[in-house]
Amino acid sequence: MSLMRSVLLAGAESVWLRERAMRWPFVRRSVSRFMPGETADEALAACRRQQEQHGTGAILTHLGENLSSLAEADAVTAGYLALIDRIAKEELDAQVSVKLTQLGLDLGVDACDRNLQQLVARAESRSNIVWIDMESTKYVDPTIELFRRARARSPRVGMCLQSYLRRSAADLEALLPLGPAIRLVKGAYREPPGLVLPSKAEVDENYFRLAVRMLHPDAPKGTFVGIGTHDRRLVGRLRAEVAARGSDRSSYEFEMLYGIQRPLQAQLVAEREPLRVLVSYGEFWFPWYMRRLAERPANVLFVMKNLLAG
Assign residue 212 the CATH number of its domain: 3.20.20.220
Greatest mean pLDDT among 4-8, 239-243, 298-302? 239-243
The yes-or-no verdict on residue 238 having pLDDT over 80 is yes
Q: What is the pLDDT of residue 22?
A: 55
Q: What average pLDDT does range 74-99 have in this prediction? A: 97
308 belongs to a structural domain: no
| Tens-place pLDDT, residues 196-208 | 999 999 999 999 9
The H helix count followed by the E strand count for the chain is 13, 8
Going by pLDDT thresholds of 50, 70 and 90, the confidence category of residue 209 is very high
Model pTM score: 0.84
Least Cα distance to 8 among 301, 294, 305, 217 occurs for 294
Average pLDDT score over the chain: 86
Q: Specify the pLDDT at position 10.
A: 52
In DSSP terms, 97 is beta-bridged to 131
| H helix or E strand, kind and range, residue 65 | none
Q: Could you give the percent of the chain with pLDDT greater than 70?
A: 81
Distance CA 196, CA 193 (A): 6
Q: What is the pLDDT of residue 270?
A: 96
Domain-located, residue 304: no
**Distance of alpha carbon 173 from alpha carbon 196, whole angstroms:** 18
H/E element, 208: helix 200-215
Helix, coil or strand: residue 80:
helix
Taking residues 254-266, what's their average pLDDT? 91
Positive or negative, the Cα torsion across 181, 186, 188, 189? positive
Give 53's DSSP letter.
I
Mean local confidence (pLDDT), 176-195? 92
Which active-site residues does the annotation give? 133, 183
CB atoms within 10 A of CB 3: 7
Q: Is 138 exposed, middle or buried (0-12, 13-18, 19+ CB in 10 A)?
A: exposed
Per the structure, the count of domains in the chain is 1
181-185 and 157-162 strand pairing = parallel
State which residues form the domain around 140. 36-284
pLDDT recorded at residue 89: 97
Report whether pLDDT(276) > 60: yes
Residue 104 has pLDDT above 70, yes or no: yes
Label residue 280 by pLDDT band (50, 70, 90). Answer: confident
Q: What is the pLDDT of residue 302?
A: 47
For residue 23, being part of any structural domain is answered with no
Phi and psi, residue 56, nearest 5°: -115, 150
* d(C-alpha 262, C-alpha 189), whole Å: 24
Cβ–Cβ contacts within 10 Å for residue 188, how many? 21
Q: How confident is the model over 45-64, as pLDDT tens digits?
A: 999 999 999 999 999 999 87
End-to-end Cα distance, the chain:
31
Long-range contacts of 246-251 (CB under 8 A, 24+ apart): 247/215, 249/273, 249/274, 250/224, 251/215, 251/223, 251/224, 251/225
